[in-house]
Structure 1
Amino acid sequence: MFVRGTSEEIWKPVKFAFEFTNDCRFEVSNLGRVRSFNKVADGRILNGSITEGYRVIRLKLYKPRDPDTQLSFDQLKEEISKLYKKRREKINNNDYSESIERVTKRLEMKKASLSKKLKKDLKSRTINHHFLIHRLVATYFLPKPKAGHTIVGHLDFDKMNNKLTNLKWMTTEENVIHQSKNPSVIAEKKWRKYTQKPRTKGAKLTSTQVIHIKKQLKRERPMKQIAKQFDISEMQVWRIKSGENWSRVTIPE
């Protein structure tokens, strides 16, 4: 059991709400690190990327193939195997009753068909999954006080410091108060006083726009594209997806 305030690094396995076929697993630590395990990497630390100052881990995972599709692929591979065998036998036996070129052409057509189907299948099974490291740490190491505490704040305002001791679950109101003390926010407010340029990016969304965003998220459209379309940040899209913001707006049945 981790005691808040200690420096010992403790790792916990990351669990997913869906099944995937990738031969890998992930762990998160109370010191804000994430590592992966697979055939070529045994505990490699993942640095991820930076989105609006937050460290994000992006994964490309694949859903299992359904039985009917798998059967179709197995049959096509069997046909290709038989054509390879037939061509090899004809060459070895100098049998030209059926043109070797004709067999080769059929073989290449089957291989092209398999390649095309594999690409389409892989695309349909792709899951572009990502998580914010600070939320991952809080989820696994920091009990949420109440359901209303949906935001994970950085106590020292440093978004790169994802250690457990620097994180706290907050309500929206608590986060607003906390951010009002953020030196960067204070500096930005001072800067705005001396500029006449209106800031339109990130303007408040309407309920209709949020419904459209949620529909696109349901279709697994990349959040970067959604953010660009609605002129908002990826973080805003992520918060809509996670339910931090606009949770009361749902997609009509």
Structure 2
Amino acid sequence: MNHSTPQGPIEWRPIPGFPSYEASERGDIRRAVSFRHYPAGMVLRQRRNRFGYMTVRLSERGIAHDVFVHRLVALAFIGPQPTPQHEVAHGDGSRDNNHWANLRWATPSENALDRRRHGRLPDTRGEKHPMARLTNDLVLALRSRRRAGALYREIADEFGFPKLTVYDAVTGKTWSHI
């Protein structure tokens, strides 16, 4: 069932896995089936969890589920989760904008890149990490010594770091951003 707004009709679709509920294209969730004193068409109240994401409580077969609104909208409008590892990513970085066009399935690394781009994930790579023992300049010096023919063991002894730390930094397993 669709309703109209000044912007036009609102599309509602059933939510896979929750047959008693529907999601709107804008991110609202409503009951599709009447139950006790809850009529069909009743839009559910959303709550913000401690991480800033909107959630709703859905009840199926007597079991209550607290579910992310963005996940329900993605299931209804985008389709099934491609793999168990995929997450719902917000295109604009706003956790409040659960319009289906703002959502997409993404891998955890893609979602982390989005969060970094939106300023929600601080860049703690390399010397910006509070536990970093190396610096950008030191990594460049390690790489320069290796290019000059020094053995990893020699470089490690010279700079006072474990051989594996030197190897990882020189080969790019760590510090790949520089």
TM-score normalised over the length of structure 2: 0.54
CA contact (8 A) 2:20 2:60 kept: no
Q: Residue deviations 1:126-155, cap 9 Å, x none?
A: x23222110111111113584376111001
Seen in structure 2, the aligned counterparts of structure 1 residues 139 and 7 have a Cα distance that, compared at 3 Å, is farther
8 Å Cα contact 1:58/1:130 also seen in 2: yes
- 1:179 equivalenced with 2:115 (yes/no): yes
The alignment of Structure 1 onto Structure 2 pairs a total of residues equal to 117
Q: Distance in 2 between matches of 1:61 and 1:168?
A: 26
Q: Normalized per residue, which structure has more strand?
A: 2
Is the aligned partner of 1:26 residue 2:21? yes
The structure-2 alpha-carbon separation of the partners of 1:177 and 1:10, relative to structure 1 and needing over 3 Å to count, comes to: same
77, 81, 86: which one aligns with 1:141:
77
Distance 1:159 1:170, change over 3 A: same
**Structure 2 residue matching 1:28: 3-state secondary structure:** strand
Say which structure, 1 or 2, has more relative contact order (CA 8 Å, 6+ apart): 1
Partner Cα separation in structure 1 for residue 25 and residue 121 of structure 2: 27
Partners of 2:120 and 2:83 lie apart in 1 by 29
C-alpha offsets along residues 54-100 of structure 1, whole Å, 9 cap, x if unaligned?
1111134545xxxxxxxxxxxxxxxxxxxxxxxxxxxxxxxxxxxxx
The alpha-carbon distance between structure 1 residues 170 and 45, as it changes in their structure 2 partners (threshold 3 A), is same
Q: Map Cα deviations across residues 26-77 of structure 1 (whole Å, 9 max, x no partner).
A: 21111111012425434121122211111111134545xxxxxxxxxxxxxx
Equivalent in 102, 105, 124 of residue 169 of structure 1: 105
2:48 aligns to what? 50
Contact 1:144 1:169 in 2 (8 A): no
Cα distance per residue 1:167-221 (max 9 Å; x no partner): 11111221121111122334x97xxx7xx9x9xxxxxxxxxxxxxxxxxxxxxxx
Q: Please, what is the CA RMSD of the aligned residues?
A: 3.2
The 1:154–1:7 alpha-carbon spacing in structure 2 relative to 1, beyond 3 Å, is farther
Distance in 2 (CA, whole Å) between partners of 1:163 and 1:148 is 22
Judged with a 3 Å threshold, the aligned counterparts in structure 2 of structure 1 residues 161 and 177 are, in CA distance, closer, same or farther, namely same
User: Which runs of structure 2 are paired with 1:55-204 in the superposition (5 Å)?
Assistant: 55-63=54-62, 127-143=63-79, 146-147=82-83, 150-186=86-122
- In the alignment, structure 2 segments of 5+ residues that lack a partner are 1-6, 132-178
Q: Give the distance between the partners of 1:44 and 1:133, measured in 2 at CA.
A: 16
Instruction: Check whether the contact 2:86–2:106 (CA below 8 A) recurs between aligned residues.
Output: yes
Distance in 2 separating the partners of 1:181 and 1:7? 32
TM-score, normalised with respect to structure 1: 0.39
Aligned CA distance change for structure 1 residues 135 and 184 (closer, same or farther; 3 Å): same
Percent identity between the aligned chains?
27
Answer whether contact 1:9 1:30 (CA < 8 A) is retained: yes
* One-letter amino acid of the structure 2 residue matched with residue 26 of structure 1: Y
Partner Cα distance (2:102, 2:25) in 1: 10
